[in-house]
Each structure stands twice: as C-alpha cells, then as structure tokens.
Amino acid sequence: RSEGISARKGKLYITDMDTIEKSNLNRQFLFRPWDISKCKSTVAAAAAKAINSDLNIIPHENRVGAETEGVYDDTFFEALDGVANALDNVEARTYIDRRCVYYRKPLIESGTLGTKCSVQVVIPHLTESYSSSQDPPEKSIPMCTLKNFPYQIEHTLQWARDTFEGLFAQQSQAIDSYLKDPADFVAKAAAGVGNQATETLETLKKNILTSRPKSFDDCIEWARNLWQELYTNSISQLLFNFPAEHKTTTGDAFWSGTKRCPHPLEFDVNNPMHLDFVIAAANLRAFIFSMEGSRNAEVIAAKASAMKVPDFVPRSGVTIDVSDAEMQARSNMGGGHGESVF
C-alpha cells in the first residue's frame, strides 16, 4: 500500500471539469448519491484517499486543452512520469496524445466509443501513438432493419434510442421553436424532403391543438395508446403485409435468415415491464407540457386498465419498405418513404 504509485513522495494529478450527475452512480464505485452536483475530480480524490491513505493525490477542476496550456505547461508535463486517459471523445484524446508525443511521455489511453471500449499503451520511440491510426467508421444500421426487421440487440437498442429522441426530444424542441417564431418554423419545415414537411406539421398540430394533454390522465391515456401502437398495432400491420407464410417473388420464405417473424404483444397491467413503460412515457409526456406527473403505480395501473383501447384494423394499401434501397427509390420518385413500422 505504501509502495504504490503516487504514494509517499509521488504525486497523482487528476482533472475533470464535470460535476456528478445521478446517471454517473451506476457506472463507477467512487461516487455516492450524496455526491451529486459535486466536482467529480474532488470527490474521486477523496474516495481514493479513503481507500489508501498513503496516496498523494491532487485534484484539479480544469478541462485539458489549448485554453489551459498556461496551467499544464512545459514545467508540468516535463515533471510527469506518465499520463492515463479516460476520455469520452476523440478530439480530447488526440490532444493529449499530441502533448505526450511532444514531451515524450508514456500514455495509457482508455475509454469508450459507442458500444466499444479499448485500452492502448503508448510508449515513446517504441509503439505507435494513439493518433497514428484510427478505427474504421462504425457501420450504420439500415433504417428498414431498425424499424421493421431487427435481428441483433444493437438494433433494438438503437431503435429505442431513436424512438425516445423522436417522441420526447425532437417533438419538444419543435413545439418550443414554433412558439418562439412560427413563421420561421413553418418555413424550415416546408423545406423538408418528401413528406417530411407534412409529417412535421401534422405532429405539431396534434401536440399544440388536437392532442395536447389537459391533465395527467390524458398523459396516461397517451402512453397506453403509444404502447399499443408500438407493440401490438405496428406488428400486426407488418404481419398483415407479410404473413408468417409469406413467400418472396422467387418462392422462398420471406421470414427467413435475418428476418425474424415477430408476434404482437397483448398489454398486461400485471407485467412490470408493460406498466413501467406506461408510467415512464406518461411522466415524460407530462414533463414536456410542464404538468405534474405521478409515479403511483397502483393509480396508473387502474387508469390504464380501465381504458378502452380501439381494436386494431389492418390498413390495405400500406407500403412497408423491405430495404433501404426501396425506401430511397420511393423517395427519389417523389412519393416519400413507405410506411415505417415503429
């Protein structure tokens, strides 16, 4: 313990300009709920010191970059024996890498990028630097795979993220932009390609006129109908277009290979996953419209159970694009995108 790195005569400098948020608590072991809103580096230093009292750790609250080169100058870098990174963006990593190359300091580069994580050891005059090579760009997931034919957990995660962004971020931003400058918003929406302008304006009309919630009960109803649309109706429509026994033009089974035949769900208020979805969606909807929400599961369950949800009626003439190529071709013909199953 007393012979560890930075113990006794050594020094360990750490710096982070961010403060602790609640979401940070499930990703590490140094922060606790009572540390929320405090500086990350200061709290981490105190926690590490509690583990090893011989540790000589000095916390800073600075961003390392061109603007702080007066702090992290020649004297500072030349006194270092090595540098360890734990950064969440490539720009910051390449900056530190350049500084380490310039001052000939060893670097342990670690971090995450999307779903990938890595550790790279950089030794002056022996290994390549971090900036010497780059990972190949992430392969994008075809839109039709995300919306209609997922077959990997990454597809469902991306679909969930995109759906959340569309429902609770983009729509909120659209309402705010319209209220600030209606003419500018309409002009920008009209510049959209295909049927994008119509979809944007119709969604806005629903949010500020026809479907604007007047109470939290309205938010519960909206959330329950959203569940029905995402997990029952859209899947039923997909199977209406492509039944389980559907064949391709070559006579092969349509639902084969990476295309996995789905099945619509039936809402069960006693299923915690189903009810949690309604509770979360209702509260997010309420938050958008500055309304007080509720996390009383019993009350929300009772209201969701009492709702009369319209029966699904399949729609004829709905086009569901099977590939992005079909989607692009339809867009180029001026017909917009085919029906997207969410």
The burial of 295, by beta-carbon neighbours within 10 Å (0-12 exposed, 13-18 middle, 19 or more buried), is given as exposed
Q: How many CA atoms lie within 13 A of 31 on its CB side?
A: 19
Q: How many CA atoms lie within 13 A of 32 on its CB side?
A: 4
The three-point CA angle 207-208-211 to 5° equals: 50
131 CB contacts (<8 Å, ≥6 apart)?
94, 97, 98, 101
List the catalytic residues. Answer: 144
- Roughly how many angstroms between the first and final C-alpha of the chain, as a whole number? 55
- The answer to whether the CB of 52 falls within 8 A of the CB of 7 is yes
